[in-house]
Structure 1
């Protein structure tokens, strides 16, 4: 069916996660509570790091960036879902859909790149402690984050440009609560072979290469930790990596099985996995890092209960 490159559909319908009114109401309040937890939790992490001079080290600066990205990541999808429920409308305009997809890809990729940067920071701190201060200078840390932003935006731009070249005809219903690029591509009445090939190869590289870098970093970290004679020293070294490994497992455990496959295989199971890394992971990140990190506990306690903290010995 040849419709050229002209887009006929002017809006899409987001079917959400359920078609049952009762379930929709439950999901609305659930997502609202989760979104508030994401905002409050990640903002507290950012404030604690920004106001506590002892946390102005590369590891915590990267963590503050991760919290910022998590807020943006969840804000791309959840508010639109909540507004649609209040307005009793499932529609999203073509332009809004393309913008939502662009920022969704940007922040999803940025999450992965920041996890790589944080893994490299742990590698330098544990495996190259004598060179840590000379390598992980503020200018170098800023450069790492800036390069990550450039790459992720270019990747999102590629996805978006490929998508706008496709035609959308009769079917405009997306079986999701946001404009996920993979189910969206299935709606096209154009030939998507080249688009699928580009997205699969480039997207695969953007996800697999960071994951491989994290895995390699931890191979070196664990091999170096095993050489530490003191059990206490080994536990201290591993404790600094525990939070990061937990977040990596949550993020990549959900994402690897979804976006490294052709879009034709997208299913309801993938929708659940998407919810995990778009909603659940940003919500859990503040708890994971604060509960497993003594410095973060102290900083958050000082931020939330300053008078009580000042009275402690």
Structure 2
């Protein structure tokens, strides 16, 4: 009886390490140049997305459903880049690979929360374009500031709930062998694979997260654009088609910038069997580069934002000349 009790108590014993060690970036050759590139990426991401946020917040003409989506995308970009790169720079500058257990869970939450917000925001922007082109007469009834605020509130609550569940399930794992994470942040997959007890629930959450945040959004976006292209065929004039299609260019570029690197990395791992260093570099770039490109895409492809920036610089140049 005592042996049964001992084995039972051993089976429910959960061991959490005081620290994890993030070792994914430790073996990269010429890592100094890579970290310099990451710093440049971080700098331009923060500056570019902050400018977009300020322009949308301060200019009342941009307080529209479409720019509520753009505002949330810039917010998600800043959140994701802050969750990723400062920790990577700390590892490089101070040769500090360790992170406490609770800080690791927090890092995991914020990276997945903000990257999934990017994905969901692209879906909401696809919905905006679909209604604008396929149902133009009902656009203001279906898409307005109130409806967009409600949609994003629901997305934030849903996203927070799912990601919190994923992170909380890590606490039920026991890490009795290794605490070395072969990644560049506290990644969910590499961490649950270190566990020495049953991790089947975590595997299911990994599949659920991949489906909800990458596969399902991409399918919805593709279907929405099939509907848009079908609606464009019903427009008789070529000028009308091009005008409607032009409103989708910036969104299509954002979709490509977000989804293509992720799927390229995924298929490269399947087909080419990437080395650990190559996998870490490719995956980190797939997450770090889009937040830098997104504000550039919107500034260059959105007439309203471009006009506001040109107006600001024009006014400043006039003021400097008058002085």
Q: Give the TM-score of the pair, scaled to structure 1.
A: 0.89
Shift of 1:13: 1.1
Tell me which moved more, 302-311 or 282-291: 302-311
1:292 aligns with 2:285: no
Change (3 A) 1:88 1:18: closer
The structure that has the greater radius of gyration is: 2
1:232 aligns with 2:232: no
1:110 aligns with 2:117: yes
- 1:100–1:179 CA contact under 8 A, matched in 2: yes
Aligned to 1:11: 19
- Per-residue deviation, residues 56-84 of structure 1 (Å, max 9, x unmatched): 22111210110011000110011111122
- 1:49–1:299 CA contact under 8 A, matched in 2: no
Aligned to 1:144: 151
Quote the RMSD (CA, aligned, Å). 2.7
Change (3 A) 1:192 1:47: same
Shift of 1:17: 2.8
Structure 2: how far apart are the matches of 1:143 and 1:165? 34
Q: Please give the secondary structure, in 2, of the residue aligned with 1:17.
A: coil
Change (3 A) 1:70 1:14: same
Aligned to 2:102: 95
* Unaligned stretches of 5+ residues in structure 2: 1-6
Structure 1: how far apart are the matches of 2:194 and 2:318? 56
Tell me which moved more, 159-168 or 288-297: 288-297
Aligned residues: 308
Structure 1: how far apart are the matches of 2:31 and 2:23? 11
Structure 1: how far apart are the matches of 2:158 and 2:292? 25
Q: Please give the secondary structure, in 2, of the residue aligned with 1:13.
A: strand
- 1:113–1:148 CA contact under 8 A, matched in 2: yes
- 1:166–1:190 CA contact under 8 A, matched in 2: yes
Structure 2: how far apart are the matches of 1:309 and 1:252? 42
Q: Which runs of 4+ in 1 moved over 6 A?
A: 257-262
Aligned to 1:280: 289
Tell me which moved more, 89-98 or 271-280: 271-280
Aligned to 2:83: 76
